[in-house]
Chain A
Amino acid sequence: MTSAAETEAPPIVALEGVGKRFVKRLDVAMKLANMLGSDLREEVVQAVDDVHMAVREGEVVGLVGESGCGKSTLGRVVAGVHRATSGRMLYRGDDVSHLGDRAARDVRLKIQMIFQDPMSSLNPRFRVADIIGEAPKVHGIVGRGELDGYVDEMMRHVGLDASYKRRYPHQFSGGQRQRIGIARALAVKPEFLVCDEAVAALDVSIQAQVLNLFMRLREDFGLTYLFISHDLGVVEHLSDRVMIMYLGRIVEEAPTEALFATPNHPYTQALLAEVPRLEAKRRAYTPVKGEIPSPLNPPSGCHFHPRCPHALQRCRDEAPVLREIAPGRRSACHLNDRA
């Protein structure tokens, strides 16, 4: 956060203490049961907990974590799908929640999202031309007369044959469908793409093609990415900076090379140790203990302490703060205080 503040231009997206809580309220039957003496409480999940981050223009930030860690929720908050329950999100220095209707809509268009499963994010009853052309038409980005040519252009950008635009999504392969999703996002001229596991469902050879496409589009359109993935290999290849998330909190943030060379947080170290590598060497797998705990009832103090090989008493009592351990590097671990 501090390092970003030093550069002159405000970061394109900044989160200041953003949190997202989901509450499952009691229904009538449950309230009735409570009147009769049961003890039912609202279930609260703090999916995202006090996240500070800043993404500079043109940067690719990788967001890594296991299922249920809140990485997708954070991505959705950034994309404006979810509203943060605490904290502020700034777009080019402006607090998004204080913008007027028109400006807020513009910001929402500038930040687009690419989803994991293109089949569930593309309307199966729409032709490709309508899927890509709908938003620019509605938002007046292109005139009615130019729409046809504009759709063709978008399809060419993502490597799709424009003669297929009368087809429906099911007539395409998985990789092509993902390209349709990317073309749809590009069609509203975004500056920032949130890619949520955008290549996770693709075959290895197709995954490489789509990753190359992302890198080319970054050059061609000057895009900034928040790249959410559980795949460390993909994130390492693509990102300038990586954030590691565990149970709603960012536990470590560092430039990609530094993070992979010298992971600081014990959770990052465990993650890196588990990644299967393409080396024909018998590996003795030495797993990190336990599983990611339920976010309904997270452990006290540092959320990672029950699985951490170095846990101290202090880790059970007190949540470590994410603080700078080297220029551009932050980590949330009490062990750093000992050095």
Chain B
Amino acid sequence: MANGNRILEVEGLRTHFFTKAGVVKSVDDVSFTLDRGQVLGLVGESGSGKSVTGFSIMGLVDPPGRVVAGRIVFRGTDLAHLDEEAMRAIRGRRIAMIFQDPMMTLNPVLRIDTQMIEALQAHEQISDDDARARARDALGQVGIPSPEQRLKAYPHQFSGGMRQRVAIAIALLHHPDLIIADEPTTALDVTIQGQILYEVQKLVREQGTALIWITHDLSVVAGLADEICVMYAGRAVETGHVADVIERPLHPYTRGLINSVPSRNPRGQPLRQIQGVAPTPLKLPPGCAFQDRCPRADARCHSMPELSQPVAGHSVRCFRPHLEEAAA
């Protein structure tokens, strides 16, 4: 806690949705920390709660959803118990978010300059001219050619990759301490994804912004992140340094995910797949949510495993983690 570089500390976060059909525990005990300039890869499949974790930090969970437990300490302030007024001063200014679909960020009927100047003036006393200059610089920073002219364009006049760059530029306007990026390159082509990853990597390095990169694709964060947190059915099941998680995964789910990636399999041979499908969030089995698909599950798995740290700096939620290989 005394760490002056600590940007974010999420501890025991639980975000539940109280629907007519029952309580959906979208996020159920997730913890991680993030320092200045660090990149955290938040990895999980659809419905694992990775996006809701991001929304919870931003204070964007709408009813029937609610953060029911846990702390979200952002530079010493617990966001979970902040009122909307105070949250508004932080959201967009100190913490920014980038979405998968940039059209969610951009207003289709307003020019880019209007939107960017508005975003600046929402948080700062700044003249139109100064705001325009800042907006132009931000566009240049993310690699948009001739930013002066592009400021006058409408969102539909940009390609998908360029739109995502504009969304990133808007996120950067206030030099936030933390950026939450929710699958920002999933909809893009590989060469465009490469370009965006390049810009993001550069910005994090230059500005010391902390970054949470939410994705379903382990290979994207493998080359980008410092830390990785793997989620399954709302729970953080494995957290650790990127090399530890990728090279020596402890949780059977993480291991299964890595093994099922085609490049990790001999060509033409059947992929080592994970059996079955993720459980529906309304009917999670008691205990470990992965037990039905897990090759190592036994009777103990009917009760809930706690997060343990069998290896320093590498925590796992499992009764039977793959420690044999990790030790070797």
Contacts and interface: CB of A to CB of B under 8 A. Distances in A.
A278 B224 contact: no
A287 B198 CA distance: 7
A271 interface: yes
A276 B222 contact: yes
Interface in B205-226: 216-220, 222-224
A173 B47 CA distance: 12
Contact of B246 (A173, A279, A283): A279
Nearest to B243: A280
B265 interface: yes
Interface in A220-260: 230, 232-234, 236-238, 256-257
> Is chain A's interface secondary structure helix, strand, loop, or mixed overall?
helix
A245 to B, nearest CB: 12
B263 A280 contact: no
Contacts of B264: 278
B262 A257 contact: no
Contact of B195 (A175, A216, A287): A287
A101 interface: no
B46 interface: yes
Q: Place the interface of chain B in its size category.
A: 35 or more
A305 to B, nearest CB: 15
A258 to B, nearest CB: 12
A186 to B, nearest CB: 19
Interface string A89-103: 000000000000000
A281 B191 contact: no
Contact of A66 (B46, B191, B216): B191
Contact of A237 (B190, B193, B224, B262): B262
A292 B264 CA distance: 30
Nearest to B159: A291
A326 interface: no
Given A230-B189, A237-B268, A291 B161 contact: yes
A276 B223 contact: yes
Residue of A205, A236, A279 most packed against chain B (CB within 10 A): A205
Interface residues of A, number: 46
A197 to B, nearest CB: 12
B103 interface: no
B67 interface: no
Contacts, number: 137
A208 B263 contact: no
Nearest to A209: B273
Given A204-B260, A212-B273, A277-B219, A287 B267 contact: no
B297 interface: no
A288 B194 contact: yes
Interface string A169-208: 0000111100000000000000000000000000111111
Nearest to B45: A203
Nearest to A215: B270
Given A204-B217, A285-B194, A234 B262 contact: yes
B277 interface: yes
A321 interface: no
A319 interface: no
A236 B265 CA distance: 11
B117 interface: no
B272 interface: yes
A336 interface: no
8 closest residue pairs by CB, A with B:
A283-B223, A237-B262, A208-B260, A274-B194, A280-B246, A287-B195, A285-B198, A66-B189
30 contacts: A203-B46, A204-B45, A204-B217, A205-B257, A205-B260, A211-B271, A212-B273, A215-B268, A216-B270, A233-B262, A233-B263, A236-B267, A237-B262, A237-B263, A237-B265, A237-B267, A257-B267, A276-B193, A276-B197, A276-B219, A278-B263, A279-B246, A280-B244, A280-B245, A280-B246, A285-B197, A285-B198, A285-B223, A291-B161, A291-B162
